[in-house]
Amino acid sequence: MGFSFVQANGAGASESSTTIDVSLTGVTAGNLICIFVKHEGASTTINVSDGTSSFAAGSSYVSHGGGDLHVQCFYLLASAASGSVTYTATFGAGRAWRRVVVMEFAYTATATFTDGNGSAGDGTAPTTGDITAANNSVVFAGYGEYGGTTISTFDWNSLAAGGSMDYTGDTDGVYGGACAWYRIVGASDEGTGPATAALAISDTYACAGMAIEDAAGGGGLPIPVAMHHYRQQHQV
């Protein structure tokens, strides 16, 4: 029971537009798809679709206090599409510096969204704020910044990430302004804590994450009712 990572990809564009696409090949119908989206400019709406199904928001729309940096996570619990699939993030108005990272996860029972959170600030440790995850869950998180830097670690609740990717497809630890990571949660790992990254230099950031549980897989932590709503720890 539980989740296993399948694949990931990213995409980005600097010029202003109302959409950005990212594709996966060999997608298996029924798998979980998670997407992290970043843009710069004024606040606007974001909607994500694979052309067949619309994604649900798994975190709040997180904005840095300056109002120019924004991120959000989305999920599709069971993909109806398979094979080569293009995922499109559509913005309510044209926006520049758009970034997107998509990840696919296989699972064996019933996927359920359980928690989401996000925060923004300045420093070397972007954090989502607390996310609760039970046994047989996956925590998916991402962060956006204005530039790019070397990142030494990604984690959730002080547990090392299972993998990470930036919008260019890099997995080598040198990231260009937007990336996502995941942690698969086992019985000895379940708990509550933030998803965080460790940056080589201080920067402005916006960070968002969520937890999805393979509900029939034996998750053991109760999720407080209030936590089923999108939480945003703080905006600065």
φ, ψ of residue 159 in degrees (nearest 5): -105, 130
Q: Which of 84-88, 131-135, 142-146, 168-172 has the lowest mean pLDDT?
A: 168-172
13: its two tokens: 């564009």
Measuring CA to CA, which residue among 118, 192, 141 is closest to residue 35?
141
75: its two tokens: 């999920």
CA 29 to chain CA centroid, Å, is: 20
Measuring CA to CA, which residue among 132, 138, 107 is closest to residue 216?
107
Tell me if the pTM is above 0.85. yes
pLDDT over 50 at 226, yes or no: no
* Segment 55-60 mean pLDDT: 97
Q: Give the model's pLDDT for residue 230.
A: 40
* Interior/surface letters 64-97, b for 16+ CB within 10 angstroms, e for the rest: beeebbbbbbbbbbebebeeebebebebeeebeb
Q: What is the pLDDT of residues 139-182, one digit of tens each?
A: 999 999 987 778 888 999 999 999 999 999 888 766 768 999 99
Please give the helix or strand (H or E) that residue 154 lies within, else none: strand 149-156
As a whole number of angstroms, the distance between CA 168 and CA 57 comes to: 23
- Angstrom CA distances, 129 to 57, 75, 117, 162, stand at 17, 19, 6, 19
As a whole number of angstroms, the distance between CA 143 and CA 130 comes to: 15
pLDDT over 70 at 1, yes or no: no
Please give the helix or strand (H or E) that residue 225 lies within, else none: none
Q: Which of 16-20, 102-106, 151-155, 157-161 has the lowest mean pLDDT?
A: 151-155
As a whole number of angstroms, the distance between CA 175 and CA 35 comes to: 17
